[in-house]
């Protein structure tokens, strides 16, 4: 054996090492996707391909076709009449766009917490809080100029939604209350509280049905042709959220917590504050969508049903978008078109509009089923997990 001290004593062992090991260590081979966060949530968060949502939508439409056929209607005709209205007519397009606005915003309200590792089920309650705050604020300043009323109503909606969501964030950060439980309960609390408000202090006495005062005329949003004002707002916000998550230090902190909160804490990120902040931003977006509903959609009042199931649709949107902020836009376009066209569908074919809810439910089920991803990516997954488990000795 050569003198073992040769190399170390010349003071350049590092270069020596590089020279002797030109072949890359085997572990460094391309291993495809990084190790994902664990659990179902991790699967939802993981940015993968757009194949899964597209397959899910096609499969849902196919299952829907069977159901439509069972009612004696030609599915091609049914889908044709639905989408022709939603995309092919000015009224329909405007309706589609109007639906898109809260869908994008509520989708974003689910996407941001998902990145932090939280599942926000409470966009519904946050939207309702935003809407009632907007209605109350607009009524309080009803003598002001219309434009100012609209701005104040939107700010009130943002604050209302943010406040409502940060309750869940604060409970999580300080007491460890699971956000799924707390946001579900806050949805019910919001519904009850608002029920009281529109039957009492905020009730418009001129209406027989429980309802808030209407938005003052000057504050109502006018559509630009068939494009509602809310749409550019929602699109800009989707881009802003994408930028925030990708390029800013705030987004980095959110992502780090979502991927490894122990490392986040080690790196000096304040978990509690960030969790509350992420929920507040999410609630602000949902609350804004509530105030836009109030200002943009006839009857321009808060009344029962204003929220529909928009907040819950936000979950569908976020999952369809695979928690990508920009992905909420095509997802919302699809869901918005289905919702906008459902009444035409009934008018033309007699099929109940609930078919759309069923389609969305099936889609949601399919996108969230980990099994789909596994089936499609079986080979890839098997390979990389074998790699992951077989090394490291």
Partner 1 sequence: MSQPAPETATGGSTAAAPETGSATSRSVPQAQRERLLELDGLSKSYGTVHANRDISLHVERGEIVALLGENGAGKSTLVKQIFGLIKPDRGTITIKGDASPIKDPRDAIRRGIGMVHQHFQLVPVMTVAENMILGNETTSRGVLDIDGARRLVRELSEKHGLRVDPDAEVEDLPVGTQQRVEILKALSRSVDLLILDEPTAVLTPQETDELLKVMKELAAGGTSIVFITHKLREVLAAADRVYVLRQGAVVGEVATADTDARGLATMMVGRDVVLRVDKDEATPGEDVLSIRDLVVLDDRQLRAVDGFSLDVRAGEIVGVAGVEGNGQRELVEAIAGMRPPQSGRIDLLGKDITKANPHETHVAGIGHIPEDRERHGLVASYSLADNLVLNRFSEKPFANGFVRDFDAVRQNAEALFTEFDIRAAGVSAPAGSLSGGNKQKVVVAREMSFGPKLLMAAQPTRGVDVGSIEFIHRRIVAARDTGAAVLLVSAELDEVLSLADRIAVIHGGKVVAEMPGKDAERTEIGRLMAGDH
- Per-residue binding letters, 21-40, with partner 1 (x by CB under 8 A): x-xxxxxxxxx--xxxx---
* Site for partner 1 contains 69 (CB under 8 A): no
Among 193, 269, 365, 376, binds partner 1 (CB under 8 A): 269
The C-alpha atoms of residue 340 and residue 99 are separated, in whole angstroms, by 7
Among 263, 347, 354, 374, binds partner 1 (CB under 8 A): 263
Number of residues located near partner 1, criterion CB under 8 A: 55
**Spatial contact of 186 and 259, defined as CB atoms under 8 Å apart:** no
Of 2 and 371, CB closest to partner 1: 2
The three-class DSSP label of residue 212 is: strand
Of 255 and 357, CB closest to partner 1: 255
* Site for partner 1 contains 379 (CB under 8 A): no
Q: Give the nearest distance from C-beta 177 to partner 1 in angstroms.
A: 21
What's the burial of 280, exposed, middle or buried (CB within 10 Å: 0-12/13-18/19+)?
buried
* Site for partner 1 contains 391 (CB under 8 A): yes
End-to-end CA separation in angstroms for the chain: 28
Task: For 211, list phi and psi in degrees, rounded to 5.
Answer: -165, 150
* Site for partner 1 contains 176 (CB under 8 A): no
Q: Give the nearest distance from C-beta 4 to partner 1 in angstroms.
A: 4
Of 132 and 284, CB closest to partner 1: 284
Three-state DSSP string of 10-51: CCCHHHHHHHHCCCCCHHHCCCCCCCCCCHHHHHHHCCCCCH
Among 200, 268, 305, 371, binds partner 1 (CB under 8 A): 268
Nearest to 344 by CA among 63, 97, 93, 103: 93
Among 267, 352, 354, 374, binds partner 1 (CB under 8 A): 267
Region binding partner 1 by CB under 8 A among candidate stretches 170-178, 232-240, 253-261, 282-290: 253-261
* Site for partner 1 contains 77 (CB under 8 A): no
* Site for partner 1 contains 146 (CB under 8 A): no
Token pair listed for 355 = 């078919």
Q: Give the nearest distance from C-beta 95 to partner 1 in angstroms.
A: 38
**Spatial contact of 337 and 87, defined as CB atoms under 8 Å apart:** yes
Nearest to 165 by CA among 133, 195, 139: 133
Nearest to 142 by CA among 292, 286, 301: 301
Region binding partner 1 by CB under 8 A among candidate stretches 111-119, 178-186, 265-273, 336-344: 265-273
**Spatial contact of 294 and 135, defined as CB atoms under 8 Å apart:** yes
Among 229, 250, 358, 376, binds partner 1 (CB under 8 A): 250
* Site for partner 1 contains 381 (CB under 8 A): no
Of 36 and 353, CB closest to partner 1: 36
Torsion of CA 278, 283, 286, 292, to 10 degrees: -120
Nearest to 105 by CA among 134, 138, 130: 130
Distances (CA, A) of 275 to 84, 254, 258: 43, 8, 10
* Site for partner 1 contains 1 (CB under 8 A): yes
Q: Give the nearest distance from C-beta 324 to partner 1 in angstroms.
A: 16
Of 28 and 66, CB closest to partner 1: 28
Token pair listed for 141 = 């300043």
Torsion of CA 137, 139, 141, 143, to 10 degrees: 160
CA 77 to chain centroid, in Å, comes to: 31
* Site for partner 1 contains 124 (CB under 8 A): no
Q: Give the nearest distance from C-beta 43 to partner 1 in angstroms.
A: 13
Chain contacts with partner 1 (rule: CB under 8 A): 1-8, 13-14, 16-21, 23-31, 34-37, 247-250, 252-253, 256, 259-260, 262-270, 383, 386-388, 390-393
């Amino acid at each position: 054996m050569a003198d073992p001290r040769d190399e170390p004593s010349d003071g350049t062992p590092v270069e020596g090492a590089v020279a002797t090991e030109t072949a890359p260590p085997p572990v460094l081979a391309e291993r495809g996707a990084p190790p994902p966060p664990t659990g179902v949530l991790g699967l939802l968060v993981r940015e993968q391909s757009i194949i899964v949502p597209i397959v899910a939508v096609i499969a849902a439409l196919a299952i829907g076709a069977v159901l439509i056929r069972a009612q004696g209607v030609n599915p091609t005709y049914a889908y044709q009449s639905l989408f022709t209205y939603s995309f092919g007519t000015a009224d329909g397009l405007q309706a589609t766009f109007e639906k898109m606005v809260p869908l994008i915003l509520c989708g974003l309200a689910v996407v941001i917490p998902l990145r932090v590792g939280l599942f926000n089920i409470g966009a519904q309650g946050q939207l309702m809080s935003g809407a009632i705050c907007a209605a109350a604020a607009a009524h309080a300043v009803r003598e002001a100029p219309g434009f100012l009323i609209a701005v104040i109503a939107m700010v009130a909606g943002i604050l209302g939604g943010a406040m409502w969501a940060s309750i869940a964030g604060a409970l999580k950060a300080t007491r460890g209350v699971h956000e799924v439980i707390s946001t579900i309960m806050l949805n019910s609390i919001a519904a009850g509280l608002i029920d009281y408000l529109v039957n009492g202090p905020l009730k418009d006495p001129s209406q027989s049905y429980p309802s808030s005062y209407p938005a003052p005329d000057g504050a109502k949003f006018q559509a630009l042709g068939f494009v509602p004002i809310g749409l550019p707002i929602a699109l800009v916000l989707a881009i802003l959220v994408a930028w925030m998550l990708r390029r800013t230090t705030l987004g980095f902190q959110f992502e780090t917590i979502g991927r490894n909160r122990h490392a986040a804490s080690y790196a000096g990120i304040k978990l509690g504050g960030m969790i509350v902040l992420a929920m507040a931003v999410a609630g602000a977006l949902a609350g804004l969508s509530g105030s836009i509903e109030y200002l943009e959609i006839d009857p321009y009042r808060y009344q029962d049903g204003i929220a529909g199931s928009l907040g819950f649709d936000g979950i569908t949107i976020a999952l369809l978008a695979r928690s990508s902020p920009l992905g909420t836009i095509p997802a919302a376009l699809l869901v918005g078109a289905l919702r906008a066209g459902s009444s035409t569908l009934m008018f033309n074919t007699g099929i109940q509009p609930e078919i759309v809810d069923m389609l969305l439910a099936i889609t949601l089920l399919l996108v969230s089923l980990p099994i789909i991803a596994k089936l499609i990516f079986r080979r890839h997954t098997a390979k990389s997990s074998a790699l992951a488990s077989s090394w490291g000795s």
